[in-house]
Structure 1
Amino acid sequence: MSEHKHHEHSGHDLVQAAEAALTQAGEQWTGMRESVFTELAKHDCPASAYDIADNLSKSRGKRVAANSVYRILDLFVANNLAMRVESANAYLANTHPGCEHDCIFLVCDECGEATHVDHDGVSREVRGVAKANKFQARRPIIEIRGICAACR
């Protein structure tokens, strides 16, 4: 894995980048997928499928099933449009869709904020440990639980 640079997207630009990455991967960008991604991208802290379904239900005026949202979020994770914070069973929009990298999260136990950091050196080490144990790492995720600067 080499050092990489990527452009952080936000707002409408982020939604367009997600659409481009998903269609380039051969998937369809439907209205529901756009709604789920747009809602996910509004959250600074990891959002659950239930949070997203509730918010979409309110804004659409009809019930959106959490199971449908889970399926879409799984598709987003598989295509690097979103990242799953395993310990919270919640998701964050990937601000650089389509860029493949390992997930390293700093998760605050007080406010719930999860900061995603890229560190190619740590990623190389983790993948090296897996390889040394004859294990093929597909999607390493590292979560460091603690207290963020704002909550200290």
Structure 2
Amino acid sequence: MAGHTHKEHSGEALIDAARRSLTDAGEQWTGLRESVFQELARHDKPASAYDIADNLGAARGKRVAPNSVYRILDLFVRTNLANRIESANAYLVNTHPGCRHDCIFLICDDCGKATHLDDERVTGALRDAGNAAGFADVRPVVELRGLCTECAA
């Protein structure tokens, strides 16, 4: 499998890396943005904006508007802090903020678990095809559905 290496972060190191990456992109790291990122990072499966808003609202004791969460998640996708899982209309935290590359997502149809793998041969070929068709700034989004090892057993 072709790919590259990057540092995976977790816990406070992930929060710090996300904060640095967002502020380096010229954006502010606000309290609500940090809360949304922390809530997203807590999930091992893709989470919807509504899931995040509901969980934050329960934790804060007051409603958090899903539209606000959507705007923050869109910002996180633009700045490479999160990835959008299109087929699930949900989001997954990027555990290596600041490292921009294309991911291929493997999504379990049974348990919903999503993992990613890097294969520049596949995503590079898609990017080249898009460029050859006249598109600029091509960003492949590849999702494969099936059963994870645990569910297939």
Query: Structure 1 vs Structure 2: percent identity of aligned residues?
Result: 65
In the TM superposition, what are the counterparts of 1:46-61 in structure 2 within 5 Å? 46-61=46-61
Q: In the alignment, which residue of structure 2 is the partner of 1:104?
A: 104
- Which residue identity does 1:64 align to in structure 2? V
Task: State the 1:52 CA deviation.
Answer: 0.3
SS in 2 for 1:62: coil
Deviations 1:28-51 (A, max 9, x none): 000000000000000000000000
SS in 1 for 2:83: strand
- Which residue identity does 2:34 align to in structure 1? E
Task: Using structure 2 for the length normalisation, give the TM-score.
Answer: 0.95
SS in 2 for 1:145: strand
Segment of structure 1 superposing worse, 32-41 or 98-107: 98-107
The answer to whether structure 1 residue 68 and structure 2 residue 68 are counterparts is yes
The answer to whether structure 1 residue 8 and structure 2 residue 8 are counterparts is yes
Q: In the alignment, which residue of structure 2 is the partner of 1:30?
A: 30
In 1, Cα distance between equivalents of 2:86 and 2:31: 27
- Structure 1: gaps of 5 or more residues: none
Task: State the 1:118 CA deviation.
Answer: 1.2
In 2, Cα distance between equivalents of 1:28 and 1:133: 36
SS in 2 for 1:52: helix
- Residue-pair matches, total: 151
CA-based RMSD: 1.3
Task: State the 1:3 CA deviation.
Answer: 5.0
SS in 2 for 1:150: helix
Q: In the alignment, which residue of structure 2 is the partner of 1:140?
A: 140
Deviations 1:118-145 (A, max 9, x none): 1111121111111222222532100001
Structure 2 CA distance for partners of 1:52 and 1:137, relative to 1, 3 Å = same
In 2, Cα distance between equivalents of 1:19 and 1:4: 23
In 2, Cα distance between equivalents of 1:13 and 1:61: 27
- Structure 2: gaps of 5 or more residues: none
Task: State the 1:5 CA deviation.
Answer: 1.9
- Which residue identity does 1:94 align to in structure 2? N
